[in-house]
Structures are given as C-alpha cells and as structure tokens.
Amino acid sequence: MKPIYLDHNATTALRPEAREAWLETADRLGGNASSVHAAGREARTMVDEARERIAGALGVLEDELIFTSGGTESDNLAILGGMASLEPGARLVTTPIEHPAVLEALRPLELQGTPVERLEVNAEGHVDLDGLAAACGPGDMLATMAANNEIGTVTDLERLSGRLKASSSGQRTLFFTDAVQALGRIPVHLRKWGVDLASFSAHKVGGPPGVGLLFRKQGIPLEPRQWGGGHEGGLRAGTENVPGIVGASIAMELAVKEQEAYAEHTRELLLHLWQQLVENVPEVRCNGPQMQDPLRLPNTINLRLPHTEGQVLITRLDLLGLQASAGSACASGSLEPSHVLKALGMSDQEARAGLRISLALSTTKTVINNAVDILSRICSNGHNC
C-alpha cells in the first residue's frame, strides 16, 4: 500500500502549477534581478510580477512584502529586526507555544538583557487576550502566532488588536504574527488583524521550499538582520531566488483562492477521523483545542493515544505506512518533550506522546479510514507502542 501522508503541517506536496512556473522560470532565467541589462531586467520583472500576485492575494501593497528564505528567516527578521527598531528598554511579550523560529530568536535578545514576557496559555492553547494586551506597554513588541503548528490553536487577532488599541496610550505596540500555518487554512486578513508584521512560508501551501515572505505594514520601522547589496528595500540582502519566488507566488495565490474549500474539506475529514477514533480506540484524547472549538485549524489534530511514546509511535506508524509527526518537524528526532504540550500543562511523559495529524485538500476519506485502521491496530496490541 502507498504510504499515507498525514503530515501536511510539516510540508505539503508541490502544486503542479507552482512546479511548472518554478521549472519554467529556472529554464528561462538568464540574469541576476539586480543587473541593469536586458537579462537582469527580465528577472526583475519576474520578481515584480510575483510580488504583485502575492500582494493581490493578501490584499496588501507590493512594497509591504519582503522575500526571504522561509518562515524561519521571516520570523527571525521580524523579531530581531523589529526589536532593533524600537527604543532601548523595549520589552517583548509573547506566548510559550510559538514556533522555535520565534522562541529561539529570543535567546540572543535575552542574553543582551531585553526583557521577554511569556504569558501562559490554557489547556487548549488559548492565551487571555486582555492579559496579553495589558502586558504590552507603549513601544513594546508583541509576537503571537496566528495558528499553532502542533495543536492547531488559532488566535483571534482582530479581537487582540482591538484590545491593544484600547489599552495603548499613544505610542503603539509593534504587533507581529507568525502566520505560516494560517495561510490557506483559515482566512488571512492582514488589515483586519491589525498586525504590523506577519511571516509566511511557501512550502506549507504547495510552493517550493526555501522561500518565505515577511509582510511589513507601510511606515513600520524594521532594521535589517542581513547586510549586503540593497535587495528587498535594503531589508534582506542577497540575490533573489527568482524561480522559487515565482513558484511561491503561484502557490500562495492558489492557497488563498482555495482556502474555503480547503477548510470545509479538511474540517469534515478531521471530524470523521476523530469520530472513528473515539469508536475504535478507547481512551484516545485530543490535546489542545477540542473539535467543537471555533478557534482551531480545520486540518490539524494532536492526539494522545493510550500506552504510546511519541517518537517510538511515529517510527512504528511509519513502518505500518502512516506518516505523521510527534510535533514540529524541526524537533523530530529529538527526544525532548514538545514545548507546546508542556505549556498546556502536560507532564514530560505526556508531552512526548503527542501525535500530530495534519490533512490537506488532497486527503481522501479512504486515506482517513486506512489511517484509523492502522491507529486502532497499533493501540489494540495492548503493549507499549
């Protein structure tokens, strides 16, 4: 049997349209987008058109978009470049369930003495929005993700920005969101969300890996974290990955167009998966937001199966033909408990045992039924898997 792939939050298959655009651009590309000759100008046009395509899909201005090498770089640039643009003494307020691309970027800041406050989340991964807004003083930075990659908790950013405005006394808070898992899964309304900075990654929506995007609202100060030629408005030096950028723009545009269908399809299948598991696997639990929670990603579930250890379980499932994840892909292979599950209040042992399943528009009911079959078999063995 063909392996069942249910790890679409780690990465998802390249869309045929994005692949075609990517390959065609690579074949055609003759110049460097910074060169003034005809070959260079052609490459520049390709980058400009890709930027225009994404700006149209996201409803923002072209010069509000900075191309990067992926979600990680976008997160790093937002956090480090954002903090560098603020007055000395500015604090950073965040949550403990952010992606490592955010949490690890805080380390050098903390070493330099920047105060960082991590607000607690509840057992579903929700943070108290009033508490978050109240924790942000004037001139501070707030970093909170739009949607969590491991458990699927969604933040109501529109409400949060309302709270921030209400609590601010003139000088604004610099508001950043990691929207890597939000794009294509839930509606992304950067203006309504009221964010100043937002990160995206192409490979999460069927674009090529190694291409990301940072939205920076017009007029918001940001310092570069990489220096060289003045690419991307001086904010991200380095010769542009033109084929990747073109492929990414096609994938991101399609992801936005298909978002509603994606959400409806994956929500229905995820509910089917959950109902089947409840019937077939006694003691199965859903970690994080429960199925009826409106603030959850439609395609993501984090499971606690009886008598299982995360990494061992993943390996056994892989041998049986089911590819899923113990948490974020970046942490796989490590025996560390998930920092997200720990933040929900779980013990180290419980936080090692989470199984993340993430679906896509291409996932079928047959695939889900086969996955349930494998999961119930593994749990009915009665021994520690």
Q: From its phi and psi, is residue 364 left (phi > 0), alpha (psi between -120 and 50) or beta?
A: beta
14 touches ligand PLP by CB under 6 A = no
Amino acid, single-letter form, for residue 218: Q
Minimum distance of ligand PLP from residue 149's CB (angstroms):
3
300 touches ligand PLP by CB under 6 A = no
Minimum distance of ligand PLP from residue 139's CB (angstroms):
26
Interface of this chain with ligand PLP, residues 147 to 166, rule: CB under 6 A = 149
Minimum distance of ligand PLP from residue 180's CB (angstroms):
4
Instruction: Rank residues 103 and 317 by Cβ distance to ligand PLP and give the closer one.
Output: 103
Instruction: Rank residues 298 and 378 by Cβ distance to ligand PLP and give the closer one.
Output: 298
Q: Tokens 């679906």 label which residue?
A: 359
201 touches ligand PLP by CB under 6 A = yes
Helix, strand or coil for residue 105? helix
Report yes or no: 351 and 308 within 8 Å, Cβ to Cβ: no
Tell me which DSSP letter residue 174 carries: E
296 touches ligand PLP by CB under 6 A = no
Among 15, 51, 53, 99, binds ligand PLP (CB under 6 A): 99
Report yes or no: 325 and 314 within 8 Å, Cβ to Cβ: yes
Interacting span for ligand PLP (CB under 6 A) from 70-78, 246-254, 300-308, 310-318:
70-78
Q: 355-380 b/e with 16+ CB inside 10 Å = b?
A: bbbbbbbebeeebbebbbebbbebbe
What is the H or E stretch that residue 65 is in? strand 65-68
89: exposed, middle or buried (C-beta count within 10 Å: 0-12, 13-18, 19+)? exposed
Instruction: Rank residues 71 and 184 by Cβ distance to ligand PLP and give the closer one.
Output: 71
Q: From its phi and psi, is residue 48 left (phi > 0), alpha (psi between -120 and 50) or beta?
A: alpha
286 touches ligand PLP by CB under 6 A = no
71 touches ligand PLP by CB under 6 A = yes
Helix, strand or coil for residue 382? coil
Active site residues: 330
46 touches ligand PLP by CB under 6 A = no
Interacting span for ligand PLP (CB under 6 A) from 84-92, 175-183, 268-276, 360-368:
175-183
Q: Distance of CA 175 to CAs 116, 220, 349, Å?
A: 15, 10, 35
Nearest to 157 by CA among 142, 172, 135: 142
Minimum distance of ligand PLP from residue 136's CB (angstroms):
21
Distance CA 38, CA 26 (A): 16
Q: Which residues pair with 358 in a beta bridge?
A: 7, 300
Minimum distance of ligand PLP from residue 89's CB (angstroms):
28
372 touches ligand PLP by CB under 6 A = no
Instruction: Rank residues 102 and 379 by Cβ distance to ligand PLP and give the closer one.
Output: 102
144 touches ligand PLP by CB under 6 A = no
Instruction: Rank residues 11 and 85 by Cβ distance to ligand PLP and give the closer one.
Output: 11
Interacting span for ligand PLP (CB under 6 A) from 64-72, 157-165, 168-176, 185-193:
64-72
Report yes or no: 170 and 137 within 8 Å, Cβ to Cβ: no
Among 25, 161, 173, 181, binds ligand PLP (CB under 6 A): 181
Minimum distance of ligand PLP from residue 100's CB (angstroms):
8
* Distance in angstroms between the alpha carbons of the first and the last residue of the chain: 22
What is the H or E stretch that residue 142 is in? strand 141-143
177 touches ligand PLP by CB under 6 A = no
**Interacting residues with ligand PLP (CB under 6 A):** 70-72, 75, 99, 101, 145, 149, 178, 180-181, 201, 203, 212, 328-329
